[in-house]
Every structure is written in structure tokens, then in C-alpha cells.
Amino acid sequence: MLKGIPALINADLLYILRSMGHGDVLALVDRNFPAQSVAFDTASGTLVHLDGANIPQAAAAILTLYPLDSFVETPVFRMQVVGEPETLLDVHEDFHAACEAAEGAKVRMGSIERHSFYDRARQAFAVVQTTEDRPYGCFLLTKGVVFEPT
Amino acid sequence: MLKGIPALINADLLYILRSMGHGDVLALVDRNFPAQSVAFDTASGTLVHLDGANIPQAAAAILTLYPLDSFVETPVFRMQVVGEPETLLDVHEDFHAACEAAEGAKVRMGSIERHSFYDRARQAFAVVQTTEDRPYGCFLLTKGVVFEPT
């Protein structure tokens, strides 16, 4: 354990989050996502497991440390429901609320069709898989900048 | 970069600090310390370089995250000056001040003879080497507990 770091953020995840820079993308996914096969293709080749955590828990923990990109219009994307691209599920709303709570500001969330989402996730830096049991609980988060001197 | 994490704490060091548990020991050393040969023998076998940082900078950054052990009388030790075990150098005082500032309390700092220090460092979890140029700027820090829920 470390002071001020959510217990959910294990050493492997900390390593990934700190290794990423501005514009890199993290894939945060549910339990059904083909996380390992997609992760093999990512920049780091890494899948981090957050077993026991759902999407709202994982998002809240990660976003205490991880700045969302303010240089782009749409720093986060959700996976679209197949055949219903406009449908916003509870898991999407929960994730969006976690983003806006962490940023203290409105955050624009885009959406991507399922197979295109897989392609975009393969171009991410790494994949973090929760055990979220609600389908379509899959997101892409573009990393931003820490402006304050630390 | 991550929100609230000192820039000095790189991904490798974050990984080590988060991997450690209660009672594990971190060796934080100056530029002359035989860091790599000692690190080979540590539990993790890892040497992390903090090039460009001195001991006060490294200690202050690490101790924002790393709790010192409150279960033992002496959570930190310094390397003794050869032939002058009682001599407290500026680098020792600077480190001690960083510990007490971070903990917000008195911290007891012990001392260990040079060759015994090497032996103890080999039993540590990992070695972190700064580019501190003052001799005897070598310390052992026992990790404590985070009591607050996170």
C-alpha cells in the first residue's frame, strides 16, 4: 500500500499508468472483452487484471491519478450496443459520471462500433480488464497532461 | 505523469514501492554506493536509478507515498562514517529532516557500520540510487502500514 493511492491500483497498473504519456490511450474493459488477445497487440503488450472491481470502481480509482486529455474534444469513448449505436446503458452512464466527477468538469464521451472498438483498442497502450458483468462496459481513455509542478 | 505523484517517481520506482509490504526495507543510496552488486542480492533483484536527484529530493518524493514503519523503534538507519560512528553529517541531517517532515512526527534514525550496512542492504527489497555527491548518504527505510481506507 502507498499513501494516497487507491488500494485497487496494483503495482502492474501503476507501472502502466506512469509509463504512459500525453495522447496515449488506455482500454478499460468488462469481463467479456477479448482482453488478452487485444492486449498482445497494444504498445506495451500488457493486460492488467483488476479482478473483483467493476467499471465504476476501476474508473474512479484510475482517474484519481490519470488525467484525461483536454487537448481533444472527445477524451473518452464507449463501445456501442450492437445495432443500437445511440443507446446509453447504465454502465456507460456510470463511467461517464466517474469521468466528470474526477475532472470536475464536463467530459465529452464518444462512441465506437464494436469491431472498430476492437481495432482502436489494439492501438492502445495497454488493456485493463475488470470483472464488470454488464455488457458493453468497455471504454478508451486518452491520457492528458499534468500541468501543476510536482 | 500522474496527478499527485512527484515527477521524480518513475514507473520502475512506483512498481517497487507498491510491491513492497509492511516490514520490507528499501535502500536509498548515494552515487558511490555499490548499488548494482548489492541490488542483485535483494528480494526483487532490482536497482532503480534516480539520476539527477540528491538524497533530500529523493527522500521527500518517496515519502509522499511510502509510510515509515511505526511498529518498530527505528524505522530508518544511516550508514556510519568510517571510524566515527557518532558523527552526523549534513546529508544525514537532511534525510532525517525529510523523514520527520513527511511523517509529521519524530522519527528515530539508527546507524550501521559501513560493511554491516552492505549486508543489511543485501537483505532489502530493492536499491534506489540517487546521484547524491555527499559521502555516507546511504539509508535503509522500513515500510509501514497505510491505516486509512483507500
Mean pLDDT by 10-residue block, N- to C-terminus, for chain A (150 residues)?
97 98 98 98 98 98 98 98 98 98 97 98 98 98 94
Residues 6+ apart with CB under 8 A from A148: none
Query: At A120, phi and psi to the nearest 5?
Result: -65, -35
- From the CA of B46, how many Å to the nearest CA of chain A? 14
CATH entry, B35-142, from 1.10.357.10, 3.40.1650.10, 1.10.1740.10, 3.40.190.10:
3.40.1650.10
pLDDT computed for residue A150 by the predictor: 84
Residues contacting B13, CB < 8 A, separation 6+: B48, B50, B62, B128
Please give the mean pLDDT across all residues of chain B: 98
CB B17 within 8 A of CB B62: yes
Q: Rounded mean pLDDT of B43-71?
A: 98
Q: Name, in order, each residue with C-beta under 8 angstroms of B87's C-beta and a sequence gap of 6 or more.
A: B80, B81
Query: B-chain residues within 8 Å CB-CB of A150?
Result: 1, 4-7
Listed by start position, the domains of chain B span 35-142
The residues of B that are catalytic are 22, 69, 118
CA-CA distance, A106 to A104, in Å (whole number)? 7
Q: What is the pLDDT of residues B90-127, one digit of tens each?
A: 999 999 999 999 999 999 999 999 999 999 999 999 99
What's the rounded Cα separation, in Å, for the pair B28 and B115? 16
* Cβ partners under 8 Å of residue B147, min gap 6: none
With CA atoms as reference, report the closest residue to B122 among B32, B17, B34. B34
Confidence of residue B24 (pLDDT cuts 50, 70, 90): very high
CA distance linking residue A84 with residue B56, whole number of Å: 57
For chain B, the distance separating the N- and C-terminal CA atoms, rounded to the nearest angstrom, is: 21
3-state secondary structure B91-150: HHHHHHHHHHHHHCCCCCEEEECHHHHHHHHHCCCEEEEECCCCCCCCEEEEECCCCCCC
The SS3 assignment for A92 reads: helix
Task: Select the residue of B7, B21, B150 nearest A5 (Cβ to Cβ).
Answer: B150
The residue of chain B nearest to residue A2, with distances taken between CA atoms, is: B65
Residues of A at the B interface, defined by Cβ within 8 angstroms: 1-7, 9-12, 14-19, 21, 64-67, 145-146, 149-150
Cα→Cα distances B9→A71, B34, B59, B132, B149, Å: 25, 21, 11, 16, 23
A76-79 and A139-142 as β-strands: parallel, antiparallel, unpaired?
antiparallel
User: Of all residues in chain B, what percent carry a pLDDT higher than 70?
Assistant: 100
Helix/strand/coil percentages in chain B, nearest 5 = 30, 20, 50
Cβ separation A150–B17 shorter than 8 A: no
Instruction: Tell me the average pLDDT across B51-69.
Output: 98
Residue whose C-alpha cell reads 517532515 in the numeric block: B101
Task: For residue A21, give the chain B residue with the closest CA.
Answer: B1
- pLDDT, residue B150, reads 84
Contact B1 A66 (CB under 8 A): no
Looking at residue B34, what is its pLDDT? 98
